[in-house]
Structure 1
Amino acid sequence: MGEMKNINQTFYTDIREIIISARENAIRGVEYMRLMMYWRLGERIFIEEQRGQDRAAYGGYLIKNLAAKIEAEFGSGFSYTQLTRARKFYRLYPTVSKVHPQLNWSQYRQLISIDDDYKREYYELEATGNGWNGRELERQINSQLYERLLLSNDKESVLAVARKDCIPTKPAEIIKDPMFLEVLGLKREARYYEQDLESALITHLQEFLLELGNGFSFVARQRRILLEDDEFFADLVLYNRLLRCFAVIEIKTHKLTHEDLGQLQMYVNYYDRYEKLPDETPTIGILLCTAKNDLLAKITLPEDNTNILTSKYQLYLPSEEEFIEEIKEVIDLTEEHEENE
């Protein structure tokens, strides 16, 4: 046989895309059928348990005995725990139209474990809208994303943005404080240099943009700004399609200082005056620091400031107890400042 001629690359690419697309659709189809199976199981169990006079006691008895029989035939996917989850799944989502087909059973297992209705809805909407997989959803729940947004917003505004009932108009509506940057994969060291953090952010850019907030895309790194004979470099420049503005990010490996705020304000002013288009909104500046003094920032910046934000970052997720203490500390400081005003 003679040598085969080279296959046309476009033709080969088309064939690959057909196969990959078919496989992905098949997987999504299987995941959706699995999701609907658990919803229907939950519905049937719920209907059956309504026949008992003491429904709570009868429900537990019913599922326990059902699991003992059905798990032996179909495996661990139908254990007492899974069937209990299926019942809860149906009770939280009593109509199929409320179930998002983009999400799978493992993601809904995480969602139904959240008792707060507002919090559950927020993560459900964000997972659907941003295409989070199960691991990313778990990370965002564990990193207390919802609670961090609530530190500078109320429930209604947080959910309004997630529901797309309104377009965010203020940076604080989408930017989190504090930020947890364990996604950078840095080893635990006594000290880091700013260029180390910057390089890690670029390497894990997709994860960092998700942690930063919704709608961000990369523009430039170490953006050179020349003011007559003086040369400056902004660490990162992003663009936010929701706010329709540039975002200049400065990274500091120390506690916030007024000099840092002045430097960032200069970069923001430069972008507003030389880069921003007339129909775009004012540039925002984000200062990432290891610790911050909210009162110092408030005194340094103009009283009507809305475009310079400071966010404390941590390279590793705190424990639940540490995070609760941190939230309490922020709330106490906020109340103290409000009383003094």
Structure 2
Amino acid sequence: MIVTQHLLTEIKAIITQAKEKAIRAVDHERVLMYWHIGKRIFEEEQQGKDRADYGEYLIKYLAEQLQPEFGNGFSRRQLAFFRQFYRAFPIVNTLCSQLGWSHYKLLMRIDNQHKKDFFIAETIKNNWTVRQLERQIHSQLYERLLLSNDKESVLAAARGEQQPVDAKTIIKDPLVLEFLGLKREAAYYEKDLEGAIISNLQDFLLELGNGFAFIARQKRIHLEGDDFFVDLVCYNRLLQCFVLFEIKTGKLTHQDLGQLQMYVHYFDRMEKQAHENPTIGVLLCAEKNNAVVKFTLPENNKHIVASKYQLYMPTEEQLIAAMEKEMERF
């Protein structure tokens, strides 16, 4: 009976995988069909470019002929999308089978080619759903990474051409935690923020970035009769190291950094395996003082960082201001 049950499980897995592959294959063929339609519309428009209204006339005519036979997927709006799709991705070989039409509709809204390339690479590597991709775009992920990394490094890491080398290359600043649903005006305790993170763990790990896995919360450290508790313990498989998070709902202090440094030293000496890299400590705080961080930690520090969290999406103006402030330091 055990053998029979095992066989049934394997066959179910084969069926599920085959169905998923078939769905992806059909969706990719649909993407290619839309691209070729957009290409032909664009080419035909160029032939009638002496007429200012020819493009609108052409799409209206095609929609009137195609929609009754093939349905709403060939409306004027959709045909305009196909034309825009071809113009955004003019080379058919750049289209990826891992991305569906809904992914491409989001990507078409991005004008910056470097930014577009980044999100394509990240979506493929992380197998992001459409909802996950939309959130990462809206949370200004690309711009936030650029605050602490150069453009080439961000793209290289997204494409898998370059591995992150220290804490600053994987930890965003700020971290955007709007998915927790906490009101920005409300006063709350650290345990409330920690509890909200645990309740939304999948979204939290997605916000952290590539390669993160959850290990523990309130990890107990016993030192000669004294107990200490690390708020959150994660592991990053790309860096092959533990990542410890200490949560502070107030302003960062040098005592907070000292406590986190002690936790990092403990994990390096007591938890880390010989093949693993040094532990990273992240102080997740509502407010931070860069000068305090700079003068509390050693000059060659690569393993402890402070990251501000936000309970709402940053605006474009906020990010521009942050980037300008960062540039003033150089």
Tell me, what secondary structure is at the counterpart of 1:290?
strand
Give the C-alpha shift of residue 7 in structure 1: 11
- Give the conservation status (yes or no) of the 8 Å contact 1:236–1:248: yes
Match of 2:215 in 1: 219
Tell me, what secondary structure is at the counterpart of 1:221?
strand
Give the whole-Å Cα distance in 2 for the aligned partners of 1:258 and 1:153: 25
Ranked by relative contact order (alpha carbons within 8 Å, sequence separation 6 or more), the top structure is 2
- What does 1:85-234 align with in structure 2 at a 5 Å threshold? 85-186=81-182, 190-234=186-230
Work out whether 1:78 is the aligned partner of 2:74: yes
Q: Flag structure 2 segments of 5+ consecutive residues without an equivalent.
A: none
Give the whole-Å Cα distance in 1 for the aligned partners of 2:59 and 2:117: 27
Match of 2:239 in 1: 243
Q: Flag structure 1 segments of 5+ consecutive residues without an equivalent.
A: none
Match of 2:55 in 1: 59
- Give the conservation status (yes or no) of the 8 Å contact 1:237–1:248: yes
- Identify if the C-alpha distance between structure 1 residues 191 and 80 changes in structure 2 by more than 3 Å, giving closer, same or farther: same
Give the whole-Å Cα distance in 2 for the aligned partners of 1:56 and 1:205: 53
Work out whether 1:327 is the aligned partner of 2:330: no
- Give the conservation status (yes or no) of the 8 Å contact 1:152–1:173: yes
Superposed CA offset, 1:161-183 (max 9, x none): 01111111122222211111122
Give the C-alpha shift of residue 297 in structure 1: 1.4
Tell me, what secondary structure is at the counterpart of 2:263?
helix
* Structure 1, 228-237 or 274-283: larger mean CA deviation: 274-283
Give the whole-Å Cα distance in 2 for the aligned partners of 1:337 and 1:95: 40
- Identify if the C-alpha distance between structure 1 residues 155 and 35 changes in structure 2 by more than 3 Å, giving closer, same or farther: same
Aligned match of 1:280 in 276, 282, 290? Answer: 276
Structure 1 counterpart of 2:286, one-letter code: T
Work out whether 1:48 is the aligned partner of 2:44: yes
Work out whether 1:21 is the aligned partner of 2:17: yes
- Identify if the C-alpha distance between structure 1 residues 223 and 56 changes in structure 2 by more than 3 Å, giving closer, same or farther: farther
Q: Which consecutive segments of 4 or more residues in structure 1 shift more than 6 A?
A: none
Give the whole-Å Cα distance in 2 for the aligned partners of 1:331 and 1:109: 28
- Identify if the C-alpha distance between structure 1 residues 174 and 58 changes in structure 2 by more than 3 Å, giving closer, same or farther: farther
Give the C-alpha shift of residue 229 in structure 1: 2.3
Work out whether 1:267 is the aligned partner of 2:263: yes
- Give the conservation status (yes or no) of the 8 Å contact 2:123–2:133: yes
Give the C-alpha shift of residue 57 in structure 1: 5.2
Structure 2 counterpart of 1:73, one-letter code: E
- What does 1:301-316 align with in structure 2 at a 5 Å threshold? 301-316=297-312
Give the C-alpha shift of residue 189 in structure 1: 6.8
Structure 2 counterpart of 1:31, one-letter code: D
Structure 2 counterpart of 1:327, one-letter code: L
Give the whole-Å Cα distance in 2 for the aligned partners of 1:292 and 1:242: 27
Structure 2 counterpart of 1:238, one-letter code: C
TM-score by length of 1: 0.88
Tell me, what secondary structure is at the counterpart of 1:304?
coil
Tell me, what secondary structure is at the counterpart of 1:16?
helix
Give the whole-Å Cα distance in 2 for the aligned partners of 1:237 and 1:161: 24
Give the whole-Å Cα distance in 1 for the aligned partners of 2:34 and 2:70: 14
- Identify if the C-alpha distance between structure 1 residues 88 and 80 changes in structure 2 by more than 3 Å, giving closer, same or farther: same
Tell me, what secondary structure is at the counterpart of 1:100?
coil
Structure 1 counterpart of 2:256, one-letter code: D
- Give the conservation status (yes or no) of the 8 Å contact 1:49–1:55: no
* Structure 1, 132-141 or 11-20: larger mean CA deviation: 11-20
Give the C-alpha shift of residue 143 in structure 1: 0.7
What is the CA RMSD across the aligned residues, in angstroms?
2.4
Give the C-alpha shift of residue 33 in structure 1: 2.2
Tell me, what secondary structure is at the counterpart of 1:243?
coil
Tell me, what secondary structure is at the counterpart of 2:44?
helix
Superposed CA offset, 1:165-205 (max 9, x none): 11111222222111111223446772222222222222322
Give the whole-Å Cα distance in 2 for the aligned partners of 1:324 and 1:33: 36
* Structure 1, 79-88 or 33-42: larger mean CA deviation: 79-88
Superposed CA offset, 1:241-270 (max 9, x none): 111221111111112111111111111121
- Between the aligned residues of both structures, percent identity stands at 57
